[in-house]
């Protein structure tokens, strides 16, 4: 594939694309660390266990980690409560993640603003969403996710259940 120079091939501004990417990259770290914590707390080797955890739904990962925190897998009561509180923050953040990931994004005539559209069906009710999203709003979501992922990573490290992040094995020679 040829590389493009200049503006990205999208109707969405490069700044918004960058912010959307940051949201998704930061969220991926959150889910990876959740999986690592599940495996570590169950004492399953990640080489074997990631096959299992990668196929769990987000809600299932939350439930498993809550059970582990509340049922004694995290021995320190303060850390267990911190984990439960952090899982609530993650659950709340998931709503924002879904808006970013599943929205239909397009540009707008206003500098620093993009449009996010979506259609929701609940029961017999159909709802359409067409909202303006500022760059600073998206950057705020990305920053929040970075803080949450950092808090989760530090917890996993304190518990001794955080494996090293996968490394790029390709060389740039």
Q: Residue 140 domain-assigned? A: yes
Q: Is residue 72 classed as helix, strand or coil in its secondary structure?
A: coil
Residue 111 domain flag:
no
Residue 56 domain-assigned (yes or no): yes
- Residue 36 phi/psi, 5-degree rounding, is -60, -40
Name residue, tokens 């694309």: 17
Which residue segment(s) compose the domain that 28 sits in? 14-94+135-159
Q: Tell me what pLDDT residue 95 has.
A: 95
> Is 167 within a domain?
no
Q: What is the pLDDT of residue 121?
A: 87
Can you give the pLDDT of all 173 residues of the chain as single tens digits?
Answer: 456 666 778 889 999 999 999 999 999 999 999 999 999 999 998 888 989 999 999 999 999 999 999 999 999 999 999 999 999 999 999 999 999 999 999 998 898 999 999 988 888 899 999 999 999 999 999 999 999 999 999 999 999 997 665 555 555 54
Nearest to 76 by CA among 170, 17, 172, 161: 161
pLDDT in tens, 48-98: 898 999 999 999 999 999 999 999 999 999 999 999 999 999 999 999 999
The total domain count for the chain is: 1
Residue 68's nearest CA partner among 91, 35, 46 is 35
Domain assignment of residue 81, yes or no? yes
Output the pLDDT for position 82.
98
Listed in order, strand segments (DSSP E) in 52-170 are 104-107, 113-122, 125-134
In a domain, 3, yes or no: no
Residue 114: inside a domain:
no
Residue 122: the pLDDT is: 86
Is residue 1 in some structural domain? Answer: no
């Amino acid at each position: 594939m040829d590389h493009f120079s200049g503006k990205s091939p999208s109707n969405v501004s490069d700044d918004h694309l960058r912010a959307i990417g940051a949201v998704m990259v930061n969220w991926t770290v959150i889910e990876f660390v959740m999986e690592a914590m599940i495996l570590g707390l169950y004492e399953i080797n990640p080489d074997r266990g990631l096959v299992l955890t990668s196929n769990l739904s987000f809600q299932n990962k939350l439930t498993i980690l809550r059970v582990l925190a509340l049922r004694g897998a995290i021995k320190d009561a303060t850390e267990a409560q911190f984990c439960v509180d952090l899982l609530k923050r993650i659950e709340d953040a998931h709503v924002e993640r879904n808006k970013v990931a599943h929205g239909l994004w397009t540009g707008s005539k206003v500098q620093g603003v993009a449009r996010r559209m979506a259609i929701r069906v609940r029961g017999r009710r159909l709802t359409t969403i067409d909202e303006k999203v500022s760059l600073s709003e998206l950057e705020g979501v990305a920053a929040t996710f970075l803080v949450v992922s950092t808090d989760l990573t530090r917890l996993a490290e304190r518990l001794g259940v955080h494996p090293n992040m996968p490394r790029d094995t390709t060389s740039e020679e």
